Homo-oligomer: A and B are copies of this chain.
């Protein structure tokens, strides 16, 4: 708790502003890439989670949403033949999610598109990119969490 200095507060407000703007831009970017793959942004995020087979509830945790929500998302992706629900040998309650061949193709295409679209930020040199990565790694919003 050494920041009672006004500059820290000013910079802090500025960071909020820029980060929320960045979030908006990135979400727009994600939406565009998703749309090119005929997906919604949420479906795209779900597909990105499925690099490996995994049970539903871990996906819900990773997406920070309610499990009942994932049920609906998977329903729509399964109807399109991109995802499958399988049994778990060890625990008959769980449904293991996995990509179909078509799902793997769509996911790979999406990843390529995202890398192409987001990873060529004009105006940043490779050195600056590394610097940004380092700062983002240290940055933890809500890090000052009380209570």
Interface residues of A (CB under 8 A from B): 1-3, 5, 7-9, 11-16, 18-20, 22-30, 45, 48, 64, 114-126, 128-133, 135-145
Interface of A is mostly: helix
Count this chain's copies in the assembly: 2
Asked if B135 and A12 sit within 8 Å, CB to CB, the answer is no
Q: A139 near B123 (CB under 8 angstroms)?
A: yes
User: Complex: how many Å from CA A12 to CA B113?
Assistant: 12
Q: Cβ of A27: which chain B residues have Cβ within 8 Å of it?
A: 23, 27
Q: A13-B119, A141-B29 are in contact. Are A24 and B64 (CB under 8 A)?
A: yes
Q: Supply 20 A–B pairs (Cβ within 8 Å), ascending by A.
A: A7-B126, A11-B119, A14-B133, A15-B118, A15-B136, A18-B136, A18-B137, A19-B136, A20-B26, A20-B45, A23-B26, A23-B27, A29-B141, A29-B142, A117-B141, A120-B144, A121-B138, A121-B141, A121-B143, A123-B139
- Inter-chain contact A8/B133, CB cutoff 8 Å: no
- B136 with A124: CB separation less than 8 A: no
Are A140 and B126 also in contact (CB < 8 A) when A11-B133, A64-B28, A135-B132 are? no
